[in-house]
């Protein structure tokens, strides 16, 4: 006797992660993790709008990684500085002229902030190092991009996200989602020499939890991906003509605290993005994709 459960063919990966018809928006989508996310979604059928301050980078990314075989598309949108409300309002209005809704917003834009390893044991030397190599302005800039802008980007796109809700029944209300890009750095006690960045990413983690609890009233899910070492402009300071960066495994092995002994694969980031985009039963979670670092470093 049939029970109404899923048949085996429903578990095929092409069905589980099919994003055909999905409309997605990714900030910081022209390089690094944002571009990996855009590729994974477009390869599975989604129209993906990538936002950023540098239109040239967005256009190069879209052109370099256009692949119609997946049925999706990567579309540049901007320029947009996520720390400016007027820029956010402008791209939202432009998008409203193109789409009736969006299924997923990934708040991925981020900066690294100042760095000053606190290696000195003498308090005077410690003060000198941290005092002279960091500034209030640099701390504020880091927090502004990595936390404040995540909040206002989410708020700006909320009506478009809620418009994606298509109830199949009374319990089907959490289809649209937001993914924030936090970091393993926001989950650990080791400063890694960048107090500002780790503090900001810790705030991103908390902001994600707050938004998840509050915005579920509007039927929108909020989760976060906390990456470890992935190839990006933040970790390598550069990208090639295809907007891609290289992070040699040897460079990761030298750190001595990465059990996987390598950088994360771009496809592994894509898997995480697709999972949080498609699984409507996941809400308020921080998904660490970091090769086991948090098993080694105090967190």
Can you give 190-226 as a three-state secondary structure string?
A: CCCCCHHHHHHHHHHHHHHHHHHHHHHHHCCEEEEEE
- The catalytic residue among 60, 201, 244, 278 is 201
Q: Is the peptide bond before 20 cis (omega within 30 degrees of 0)?
A: no
**182 in active site:** yes
- Of the candidates 58, 40, 42, 39, which has an alpha carbon nearest to the alpha carbon of residue 50? 58
- The catalytic residue among 175, 177, 182, 245 is 182
**197 in active site:** yes
- The catalytic residue among 177, 197, 224, 232 is 197
Residue 222: strand pairing partners: 178
d(C-alpha 221, C-alpha 214), whole Å: 10
Helix 195-215 vs helix 136-143: crossing angle, to nearest 10: 30
**244 in active site:** no
Helix 149-162 vs helix 85-96: crossing angle, to nearest 10: 20
**Residues with active-site annotation:** 182, 197, 201
């Amino acid at each position: 006797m049939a029970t109404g459960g899923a048949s085996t063919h429903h578990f095929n990966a092409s069905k589980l992660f099919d994003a055909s018809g999905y409309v997605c928006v990714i900030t910081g989508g022209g390089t690094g993790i944002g571009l990996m996310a855009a590729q994974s979604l477009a390869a599975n059928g989604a129209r993906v709008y990538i936002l950023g301050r540098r239109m040239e980078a967005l256009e190069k990314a879209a052109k370099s990684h256009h692949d119609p075989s997946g049925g999706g598309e990567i579309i540049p949108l901007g320029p947009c500085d996520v720390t400016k409300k007027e820029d956010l309002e402008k791209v939202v209005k432009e998008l409203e002229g193109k789409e009736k809704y969006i299924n997923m917003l990934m708040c991925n834009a981020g900066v690294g902030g100042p760095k000053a390893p606190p290696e000195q044991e003498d308090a005077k030397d410690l003060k000198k190092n941290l005092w002279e190599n960091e500034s209030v302005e640099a701390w504020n800039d880091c927090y502004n991009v990595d936390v404040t802008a995540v909040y206002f980007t989410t708020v700006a796109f909320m009506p478009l996200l809620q418009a994606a809700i298509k109830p199949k029944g009374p319990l089907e209300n959490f289809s649209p989602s937001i993914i924030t890009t936090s970091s393993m750095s926001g989950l650990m006690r080791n400063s890694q020499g960048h107090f500002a960045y780790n503090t900001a990413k810790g705030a991103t983690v908390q902001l994600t939890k707050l938004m998840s609890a509050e915005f579920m009233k509007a039927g929108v899910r909020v989760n976060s991906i906390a990456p470890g070492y992935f190839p990006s402009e933040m970790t390598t300071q550069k990208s090639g003509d295809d907007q891609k960066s290289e992070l040699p495994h040897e460079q990761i092995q030298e750190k001595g605290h990465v059990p996987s002994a390598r950088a994360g694969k771009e496809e592994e980031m894509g898997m995480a993005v697709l999972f949080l985009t498609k699984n409507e039963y996941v809400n308020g979670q921080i998904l660490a994709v970091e090769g086991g670092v948090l098993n080694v470093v105090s967190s």
